[in-house]
Amino acid sequence: MTEPNSSLEIFANPAPERDYTIRMTMPEFSCLCPKTGQPDFATLKLEYVPDERCVELKSLKLYIWSFRSRGAFHEAVANEILRDLVAATQPRFMRILAEFNVRGGIYTSVTVEHRKKDWAGAAPITPP
């Protein structure tokens, strides 16, 4: 049986010579409110430009699952996930948007970013 796991597996970037963006949406993230113990639900949006390594999807799923029984403030969990993913993949750029469902009439959205030193990225292209 598959169990939650806090380890992240990586694999070699198949095109390290070019900048390209990987985007993932994880609509089933949950953790516990550290004050009440009630579940908090969120959609996580991960966007990154890999350098030499990419994150393996099954390990990411199990990593995200490992938060379900942990108490964590929204700001702390978004920063922890970014820190762990950056440590595993060393990307050129990474952004996580954590959009938490309403609680007490308040929606919380936390965006955290990492940019590799000296990486500027390409200028955005607007198709005709």
Report the run of H or E that residue 11 belongs to, with start and end: strand 10-12
Q: DSSP letters along 44-98, please?
A: EEEEEE-SSEEE-HHHHHHHHHTTTTSB--HHHHHHHHHHHHHHHH--SEEEEEE
33 among known catalytic residues: yes
40 among known catalytic residues: yes
Strands 53-55 and 10-12: antiparallel
List 19, 33, 51, 84, catalytic entry: 33
3-state secondary structure of 13: coil
Residue type, 100: F
List 19, 31, 40, 84, catalytic entry: 40
Q: Which residues are catalytic?
A: 33, 40
